[in-house]
Amino acid sequence: MTTLELLLSSLFIATLLYLILNVRTLFLNRHPLPLPPGPKGWPILGNLPQLGTKPHHSLAALARVYGPLFHLRMGSVHVVVAASSTVASLFLKTHDANFSNRPPNSGAKHIAYNYQDLVFAPYGPRWRTLRKICAVHLFSAKALDDFRHVREDEVWGMARALARSGGPVKVGEILNVCTTNALARVMLGRRVFGEEDGGGQKEFKEMVVELMVLAGVFNVGDFVPVLERFDLQGVAKKMKRLHRRFDDFLGGIMEEHRKAGGGTGQHNDLLSLLMGLKEDAEEGGGKLTDTEIKALLLDLFTAGTDTSSSTVEWALAELIRHPDLLSEAQQELDSVVGQGRLVSESDLANLPFLQAIVKETFRLHPSTPLSLPRFASKSCEINGYFIPEGSTLLVNVWAIARDPAVWPKPLEFQPSRFLPGSKQAYIDIRGNDFEVIPFGAGRRICAGMSLGLRMVQFMTATLVHTFNWTLPNGQIPEKLDMEEAYGLTLQRAVPLMVCPLPRLDPRVYT
């Protein structure tokens, strides 16, 4: 059979499937409760073509038409979208247990070692084992305090390197190296990038960004199974190629660790612990394989680095656009820290305006604009609507945090809204209040939330305190390009290029 004949036969099957599903939808609509409202879709593809290049924008626009809970048909898949804090709380709190699994997707299959990582692993004993390992050894209050000196060492080193730069820098790349090395020293007991390894740093950053872009694509093959084999968007091919690069990178790290005696009790880093667990059965979880270890390292290196560095990049861009806010933050830091030393993590609790800046950045520029998808393990009722078993759930984190019913002047960068006396001052960003949920909420909330929040606050405080910031080539700060580049994480379309001007006692930088 020729390729053309194969494609035509597949399209015929897809059309037949579409007709069958329409009949099924009619059957579902005979349920006492209706499906949520939503737009009509195309034959076969459903609403997929309506998502555009920035799905979080497109879905926010649809919510303004159909309400905060609406229904889409993507190929053969029912998709429900939550676009308000009230609706999100129903899914992620009231019905959290029913929506604790991830739907099948090409990213988990081709990049994340076929669902053997923490992010995409099925909800169950294995997932709980991986989560427990991270919670106890990486993200507990004790673990964070034990490794505070590592984060301070890396962030202070970044500040001193910026002071020596002598010209414009791509601050996002420098932040990414800082977060990667800080995490690597806890995970591996060593840095993965040195000052002389500029090429490797850039390549790793590009790999992480490519992963986030590919993972954010709505792949037709995920929603129309008969078209999966044709890989019409070329997504699966790119994912497989990227997976090989990450596998080589992670495999090399593990091999070096073995040669250095990791996993034999001589080291106290996370990888040594994981390699030791290959020999010791975890209660309810079995033994860890090399593949599972690499899958967990992949999650930590990607989700734990780029999300933090991109958030700080957005924060700095906003402060450059609002010099009055930058000056106010510097005054607060000078009053608490002074100009004779660098800020430390222990200072953060005494910096309410700096914390408000970080919260406002998470609100306006959430690192994950659309939550990682979940699906309904069984049919349920939400807000008077019928949600069929197997439906995929998307929570539009970006739209919720810009809801004008909750946030006055939602498009403006106003850290003061999180200060005492404001109506929104009570709102927590750790998943307890659903008006801002940059880390998600419920059982599948981001495992590294505590570390991510500390790193973002600490790096932002350090950049604000140690430097004045100007734009190269006479650019006007108020006209700085703030366009987004959509992916699983929200990147800047144009990387922030800035000139750091030291503002503290010169001895601080040596």
pLDDT of residue 260: 82
pLDDT confidence band for 238 (50 / 70 / 90):
very high
CB 316 within 8 A of CB 460: yes
Instruction: Tell me the average pLDDT across 388-414.
Output: 97
CB 502 within 8 A of CB 166: no
Sign of the torsion angle spanned by Cα atoms 403, 404, 405, 409: positive
pLDDT of residue 401: 98
Residue 24 has pLDDT above 70, yes or no: no
Residue 285 has pLDDT above 70, yes or no: no
pLDDT confidence band for 304 (50 / 70 / 90):
confident
CA dihedral 144, 148, 151, 157 (to 10 degrees): 180
Least confident of 9-23, 229-243, 269-283, 434-448: 9-23
Selection from 143, 142, 154, 140 nearest residue 344 by Cα: 154
pLDDT of residue 247: 96
Kindly provide the residue ranges of all beta strands, DSSP E only, lying in 41-144, ordered along the sequence. 69-74, 77-82
pTM over 0.85: yes
CB 38 within 8 A of CB 66: yes
Residue 136 has pLDDT above 80, yes or no: yes
**Which residues have a Cβ under 8 Å from the Cβ of 256 and sit 6 or more positions away?**
none
Selection from 117, 143, 438 nearest residue 300 by Cα: 117
Q: Name the average pLDDT for the chain.
A: 90
The three-class DSSP label of residue 32 is coil
Instruction: Tell me the average pLDDT across 400-414.
Output: 97
- Which helix (H) or strand (E) element contains residue 388? none
pLDDT of residue 123: 96
Q: Which of 131-135, 255-259, 328-332 reaches the highest mean pLDDT? A: 328-332
pLDDT of residue 107: 95
pLDDT confidence band for 196 (50 / 70 / 90):
low
Q: What domains can be seen in the chain, in order of their start residue?
A: 102-363+408-509 (1.10.630.10)
pLDDT of residue 23: 47
Query: What pLDDT, in 10s, does the model give residues 214-227?
Result: 999 999 999 999 89
**Which residues have a Cβ under 8 Å from the Cβ of 67 and sit 6 or more positions away?**
36, 37
Rg (CA), the chain: 24
pLDDT of residue 463: 98
pLDDT of residue 300: 92
pLDDT of residue 487: 85
pLDDT confidence band for 239 (50 / 70 / 90):
very high
Least confident of 195-199, 452-456, 477-481, 503-507: 195-199
The three-class DSSP label of residue 215 is helix
pLDDT of residue 287: 72
**What's the distance, CA 221 to chain centroid?**
23
Query: What pLDDT, in 10s, does the model give residues 360-378?
Result: 999 999 999 999 999 999 9
What's the Cα-to-Cα distance from 96 to each of 9, 130, 367, 442, rounded to whole Å?
40, 20, 22, 6
- Which helix (H) or strand (E) element contains residue 433? none
What's the Cα-to-Cα distance from 265 to each of 141, 260, 270, rounded to whole Å?
23, 11, 11
Annotate 455-470 with b (16+ C-beta within 10 A) or e (fewer). Answer: bbbbbbbbbbbbbebe
Distance (Å, rounded) from C-alpha 120 to C-alpha 126? 11
The secondary structure of 318-383, three-state, reads: HHHHCHHHHHHHHHHHHHHCCCCCCCCHHHHHHCHHHHHHHHHHHHHCCCCCECCCEECCCCEEEC
Token pair in block for residue 253: 């790290």
What's the Cα-to-Cα distance from 13 to each of 25, 450, 491, rounded to whole Å?
18, 48, 38
Residue 2 has pLDDT above 80, yes or no: no
Q: Is residue 11 exposed (0-12), middle (13-18) or buried (19+ Cβ within 10 Å)?
A: middle
